[in-house]
Structure 1
């Protein structure tokens, strides 16, 4: 009995004596992408384009029971995804969605099939790495967007709804100043070398490991500006169209590249904080392209080096690069900065700041505290 085809997918082809590259495997067909081992995002875009060209949607009368889910995803990938800020993410999500919904029609999408998809992804589908519920939810959101786009474009005569798992509760983890200092020191290779016998508190520090200066720069920028992970890594010294830059003459940090499309994750320009400005001017003399570079090249993700710093600092797995944004927001509110000003500085809505970080503000529930003052207390007034 022939083995069932896994459908078109990416495969890392290792070749003797030649560079490792991503290829598209589709049954017995192999298509080169021209993307190297460290260029997975571009390979995802190539896979998305391949799927769109290979599969021509059959809409028939547009009834959900007649339209294949694969057609909807292919249409979305071809017509809508290229206009998004991160089309490669759509390609990555589609690859997983097709494994579960690829042989179904739209009318088969219901709560049962969506919950089965979440269980499959969280359980490690087909021997693949298990993911968290939030990841499965984001993939289903892509399916939801694809179905909504097909209905809007009149390819479906009826809307089809996707059942999403619950959202994960907002992260409340943030760093105390002592924790942030330990993390920064660890990025510079500095760790405790002697502790007090009674209190066990460090009394002597020394550089025992090789410093990772690009991680230290990343940490300082994130703590002082609350800029998102991806935007920090894209920062350069000059005006460009692919990322933000520092304007040292005017003291402004631009988080978006010139002409870059505005997304829901707003990236407004902000003044360079006074405590950060001297560091930035010094980094400008030490680096070529941007502050967060390694051996003269900008990096794409803070992963191994950042994890190494958290380990050396004795911090848990819950300390991720995004925690630094939470820390910046929390510190500003604790200092009494108004919520509207924090929202404008971080590029978030006031509602998000209030709901996620509002309890850190010294003015939080201050009016409620005053309600217990006065001689009328207990008189039914």
Structure 2
């Protein structure tokens, strides 16, 4: 890593307690420093996390790239992230989510003093961080993973950092991109739901609503969880991804997938969205699900999943509470319904090639992750092994 000067990008500084000219005492506060700019976050010394969030927001809104030096030791990481956010991120499927990741990266990599503190094990000298691209390496990447605290989140952030540096190289802003060290991937989730578990969740969402005091029982429309029942029905019948279901609309709108109730066809990809590696094939809808969808539309819904007459953006918090209420074991999240639907499809003997197209995932992935659920899986081998030994 470079031992050059510390980059002067936006960073946090703990302003000490001071006495004003009128005699009043101003308490110590975290402050954002960016060149000649000094902005108070209003956060006390003990509230470093809130100060970092304020820095993330500042970086996302205000930072402008400086002059580029080309070499990793002369190019600020913040400048690389800002360029990527300005030129590439607007075309992403979920630009707000990507922007949040860029801000989280910038808050750590752009504050070398704090990063050095988090990298320093007790009894060892502090690692040198400068705020420049030359900082990127195995020690700093490992420290970032520890700072974030969640391997999957940190891995996605670091992949984004790598993409930003590669983009900077492609437009000749950066001479070369140093290698990014990623944490080991956790084993693939194998949790899928039985039919009785799905029935339990549906019953709790439809009938066992939660009242304002947190106790189970009948509740008013505001505390209803019927929108979760709608989500789970669509997910169980189609194995679609969470965001595809939440974006599904009964009307033709350029920014949303379209459910054609007359022909029973669901175009999952919105017209205005680019195709990504997460496939969104157009599919015919199963009869029972189509009946539900037509009934919801007749009741006035514009989207497949609505809460109080409005489209739902997120269901994670309410879904977690539903799972807790049903006392299900293991990690059950909205994406578990995708695993469940694909598993059920294979158990029912759907041809793998057809299943690959319907569920929108590669054939190799389907066979590797779900193939053992198919009734014909290795059946021929077992049959031949059962024959008498040839003489």
TM-score by length of 2: 0.76
Q: Does 1:55 align with 2:64?
A: yes
CA deviation vs aligned residue, 1:177-220 (integer Å, no higher than 9, x gap): 111111111111249xxxxxxxxxxxxxxx94445221111110
Structure 1 runs of 4+ aligned residues shifted over 4 Å read 25-31, 43-49
Match of 2:17 in 1: none
Q: Give the equivalent residue in structure 1 for 2:80.
A: 72
Q: CA deviation at 1:120?
A: 1.2
Counterpart secondary structure, 1:316: coil
- Residues 371 and 310 of structure 1: CA distance in aligned 2, closer, same or farther (over 3 Å): same
Q: Partner of 2:161: helix, strand, or coil?
A: helix
Contact (CA 8 Å) 1:47, 1:91: kept in 2 or not? no
Q: Is the 8 A contact 2:60 2:103 kept in 1?
A: no
Match for residue 257 of structure 1? Answer: 270
Whether the aligned pair in 2 keeps the contact of 1:57 and 1:74 (CA below 8 Å) is: no
Residues 1:101 and 2:109 aligned together = yes
Which of 262, 275, 284 aligns to 2:288? It is 275
Q: 1:354 to 1:45 in 2, by over 3 A?
A: farther
Aligned positions of 1:1-381 closer than 5 A: 5-6=11-12, 26=32, 28-29=38-39, 50-51=61-62, 54-60=63-69, 62-102=70-110, 103=112, 104-122=131-149, 132-190=150-208, 208-210=217-219, 211-316=224-329, 318-376=331-389
Q: Residue 26 of structure 1: CA displacement?
A: 4.9
Question: Per the alignment, in what secondary structure is the counterpart of residue 288 of structure 1?
Answer: coil
Q: Against the structure 1 CA distance between its residues 45 and 113, is the aligned structure 2 distance closer, same or farther, given a 3 Å change threshold?
A: closer
**1:6-53 deviations in Å (ceiling 9; x for gaps):** 28xxxxxxxxxxxxxxxxx9554489xxxxxxxxxxx999866624xx
**2: distance between equivalents of 1:304 and 1:72?**
34
Give the length in aligned residue pairs: 320
Q: Which stretches in structure 2 are left out of the alignment for 5+ residues?
A: 1-9, 14-30, 42-53, 113-130, 210-215
Can you list the C-alpha shifts for 1:247-272, whole angstroms capped at 9, x where unaligned? 01111011122232111111111101
What is the CA-CA distance between 1:133 and the residue it aligns to? 0.9
Q: Distance in 2 between matches of 1:298 and 1:372?
A: 55
What is the CA RMSD across the aligned residues, in angstroms? 2.6
Partner of 2:266, secondary structure, is strand
For the residue of structure 1 that corresponds to 2:320, the secondary structure is helix
